[in-house]
Amino acid sequence: MQQYIQQLIKLPTSPKVFFSTLNLAAFGFCLGSHSIITPQTSGLSQLFTSAIKMPVLLITSTIVSFILVALLNLLLRTGFRTVSIAQAAVTCLLFTSIILIPFGLIILLLTTWENYSLIILTSYAGLSMAGLIGVGAFAYVLNARHRSSWDRRPLAIAAVWLVCFGVTSAELGWRFRPIVGWSGQTFAVFRHDDTGMFQQLRCEVRNTLNLGGVKLPKAGEESDTKDWPC
């Protein structure tokens, strides 16, 4: 396993971006898979839009976070080369995308249960865990290029990356919405609603604990967002 991880880290930038894009598209496809069992005629549109949105979302988050961290690195004169930070950023993207694949398979399984609440909670859990492991890969790459075991600068830069990557991904993810919305809503590339991310998480946790989760409507059934328990 360690040898396999080392091989992934040593991959050139282009293959890392390519495989990351494929992995994220596959995860996005899994996220949108539940749309095809709803009564919407736009189910396939939702499905493929999620597959496109997911790589665009995390690649954009990586670029924005890299710019912020690279500028901070120059301002504070931490001594890291911009190229090293870029390589660490791409490695973070790759490992994040790899960890998302098993969560995508779990979401496909949950889709057969037609449980919207569990799908949403699993999606957030997968994205959070994958992001943390990606940040670990970011720190590892920086540390490998900075041999001193007594220098905490790699960890400090990784902590800054964690904040930038986490906040950027969460904010863009909420606005861009790669996760297909509640059944019954008409198809839209961007969803405009007032519900916040943390409010939705609290809502789905409450639904899961009290109701066993909100079920997706079966084909031919109607659904109305006004009847959503939250």
DSSP class of residue 34 equals G
Q: What's the token pair of residue 17?
A: 């971006």
- Got the DSSP string for 41-53? TTHHHHHHHHHHH
pLDDT for residue 206: 82
For the chain, the farthest-separated pair of C-alpha atoms sits apart, in whole angstroms, at: 64
- pLDDT tens figures, 54-106: 999 999 999 999 999 999 988 888 778 899 999 999 999 999 999 999 999 99
47-51, 126-130, 202-206: segment of lowest average pLDDT: 202-206
Q: What is the pLDDT of residues 116-173, one digit of tens each?
A: 788 888 988 999 999 999 999 999 998 886 665 546 778 889 999 999 999 898 887 7
Integer Cα distance of 32 and 34 in angstroms: 6
> Quick check: 27 and 104 in contact, CB under 8 A?
yes
Q: Is 167 exposed, middle or buried (0-12, 13-18, 19+ CB in 10 A)?
A: middle
Main-chain phi, psi angles of 115, to 5 degrees? -110, 100
Q: Which tokens hold the place of 205?
A: 């946790």
What is the value of pTM for the model shown? Answer: 0.84
